[in-house]
Amino acid sequence: MATTKSDQLHGTLDMLVLKVLAGGPQHGYFIATRLDQLSSAVLQVEEGSLYPALYRMEQRGWISSEWAVTENNRRARFYKLTRTGRRQLDAETASWARLSAAVASVLNS
């Protein structure tokens, strides 16, 4: 029923978000700018899509959130990686490595 294309997209986005959060708790805007820098032109996603994705990951227990104050003294919602989330990131990184190695070997052969 649900299209696999958007599933892949979700999966990739999730993995990148987890990767960003592995560096420490961050708010949505910071995550968005980091994603922008990391993927530069490759990922053409509306920044807004990040928020439903964050909420989904929070419900899955990968991240947790709380309201805190930024260095500019603004109230923002900070997300941080949970233990489940770290395991998820490890698993996804591993499987991504396997997949890209496989793809690379196919392309190089």
Partner 1 sequence: MRALRVLRDRIRALVGRDVVADEIHEEVQFHLESRIRDLERHGLSRAAARREALRKFGNPSVIEDRGYDVRGGGLMESIVQDVRFGIRLLIKQRGFSFVALTTLALGIGATTAIFCVVDAALIRPLPYDKPEQLVRFWVSERGAPASDRFAASMVHMDGWRQLTDIFSGVGTARSESKTVLAGSEPDRVTVQYVTVDYLPIYGRRPVLGRAFVDADEQLGAPPVALLGYRYWQSVFNGDPAVVGRSLRFSNESATIVGVLNDDDSRIQAKIWMPLQATAERRASRQYGIIARLRDGVSITQAQQALDALPGIDWPDASDSAVFGPVLISEFDSARQYARTTTNVLLGAVAFVLLIACVNVASLQLARGSARHTELAIRTSIGAGRRRLVRQLVTESVLLSVAGAVLGTVLAWLILDTLVANIPLRIPADVRVTLNLRVLAMTGALATASGVVFGLIPAWRSSHTDISSLLARTSRGARTTLSRAAGRSLIAIEVAAAVLLVIGAALMVRTFAHVSAMPLGFDPDRFETMEVAPVNDRPEVFGPYYTALLERVRALPGVVSAGATNRLPLSGGSSFITVRSKSIAKPVVIQLVTPGYFETLGIPLVAGRYPEGRDLDSPRWIVLSQEAAAALFPGESPLGQPVEFGGDWRDVIGVVPKVESRGIDRPLDTAQVYMSASARPLTNFSSTGQISGQALTIVVHAKSGTDAVAVALRDTAKSIGPAVIVQRIRHGREWWDDSVVTPRQRTVLLGVLGGLGLLLAIVGVFGVTSFSVARRVPEIGVRLAFGAEPRHVVGAVVLDAAVPIFIGLAAGLLAAFFLTRAIATFLYQTTPRDPVAFATAAVLIATGGLVAAWLPARRAAQVDPVQALRAD
Residue 69: CB atoms within 10 A of its CB come to 10
Do 72 and 80 touch, CB atoms closer than 8 A? no
56 binds partner 1 (CB under 8 A): yes
Segment contacting partner 1 (CB under 8 A): 4-12, 15-23, 74-82, 92-100? 74-82
Q: Which is nearer to partner 1, 28 or 89 (CB)?
A: 28
Task: Tell me the longest C-alpha to C-alpha distance in the chain.
Answer: 55
Least Å distance, CB 66 to partner 1, is 11
How many residues sit in the footprint of partner 1 (CB under 8 A)? 22
Token look-up 């490890």 returns 90
Euclidean distance between CA atoms 80 and 26, whole angstroms: 7
Across the chain, the runs of DSSP E, i.e. the strands, are 26-27, 63-69, 75-81
Q: Name residues contacting partner 1, limited to 2-31 (CB under 8 A).
A: 27-29
Do 65 and 77 touch, CB atoms closer than 8 A? yes
Least Å distance, CB 38 to partner 1, is 15
Segment contacting partner 1 (CB under 8 A): 3-11, 16-24, 45-53, 93-101? 45-53
State the residues that interact with partner 1 by CB under 8 A. 1, 27-29, 32-33, 46-49, 51-52, 55-56, 58-61, 74-77
